[in-house]
């Protein structure tokens, strides 16, 4: 099974809550990004390896304002999720239709931005999962500048390293350290199965105490 197939399977079988619970059990209790970051389509689910991009606010027009931004997007690889760190900028519309299009064509699975985006109608039509804190129809030129990529960043309050596994849905975004990925997903799949059995037996009339004592999930 290649990465794309693996990520597709995760999107079909898992959800952020069960992954977050699993990370909690392993002692990693600060792996969920800020609740301010949400998908522009609540039905979107995304999983992939982190491709980090760092942008900072500026208050001047650089000579070549898009140089590093273009370089970063052109280096996106299949199976990656772009992590756009703006330090929660309120003035910079980092992400939009054209970056989404370029990233999708290069095989990216989505983008997570801890700031504002634009062109949401076109992004929705494109079907490229994008999560953000909100929208603002401003260009980044003279407002924000990409200064680096493929480096550790703090996005939504969580440290994200290149290659970490990102999983997001309508409930939020979880960051799984790459070295824990196999263990986390194995445990999460087991927990999801037990939760399914719990739900079925609750619907059959058993009490919450009965099914919790049997399956140990809540």
Tens digits of per-residue pLDDT, 104-156?
999 999 999 999 999 999 999 999 999 999 999 999 999 999 999 999 999 99
Report which of 150, 153, 190 is spatially closest to residue 19, judged by C-alpha positions: 190
Confirm whether residue 79 is marked as ligand binding.
no
pTM for this prediction: 0.92
Confirm whether residue 179 is marked as ligand binding.
no
- Axis crossing angle, helix 181-203 with helix 208-215, rounded to the nearest 10: 150
Query: What CATH number belongs to 30-177?
Result: 3.50.30.40
Confirm whether residue 49 is marked as ligand binding.
no
Confirm whether residue 61 is marked as ligand binding.
no
Count CB neighbours of 181 within 10 A: 16
Question: In this predicted model, what pLDDT tens digit does every residue of 4-39 receive, in sequence order?
Answer: 888 999 999 999 999 999 999 999 999 999 999 999
Mean pLDDT value across the chain: 94
Strands 165-169 and 158-160: unpaired
Confirm whether residue 63 is marked as ligand binding.
no
Confirm whether residue 126 is marked as ligand binding.
no
Q: Please, are residues 110 and 51 in contact by the beta-carbon 8 Å criterion? A: no
């Amino acid at each position: 099974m290649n990465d794309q197939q693996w990520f597709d399977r995760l999107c079909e079988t898992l959800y952020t809550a069960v992954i977050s619970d699993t990370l909690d059990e392993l002692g990693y209790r600060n792996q969920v990004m800020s609740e301010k970051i949400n998908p522009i389509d609540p039905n979107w689910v995304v999983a992939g390896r982190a491709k980090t991009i760092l942008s900072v606010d500026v208050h001047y027009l650089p000579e070549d304002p898009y140089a590093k931004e273009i370089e970063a997007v052109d280096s996106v690889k299949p199976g990656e999720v772009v992590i756009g760190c703006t330090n929660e900028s309120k003035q910079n519309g980092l992400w939009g239709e054209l970056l989404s299009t370029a990233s999708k064509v290069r095989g990216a699975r989505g983008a997570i931005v801890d700031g504002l985006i634009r062109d949401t109608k076109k992004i929705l039509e494109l079907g490229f999962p994008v999560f953000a804190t909100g929208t603002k129809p401003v260009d980044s030129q003279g407002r924000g500048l990409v200064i680096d990529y493929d480096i550790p960043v703090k996005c939504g309050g969580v440290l994200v390293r290149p290659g970490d596994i990102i999983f997001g849905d309508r409930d939020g975004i979880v960051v799984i350290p790459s070295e824990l990925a196999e263990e986390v997903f194995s445990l999460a799949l087991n927990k999801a199965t037990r939760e399914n059995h719990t739900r079925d037996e609750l619907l059959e009339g058993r009490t919450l105490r009965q099914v919790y004592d049997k399956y140990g999930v809540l």
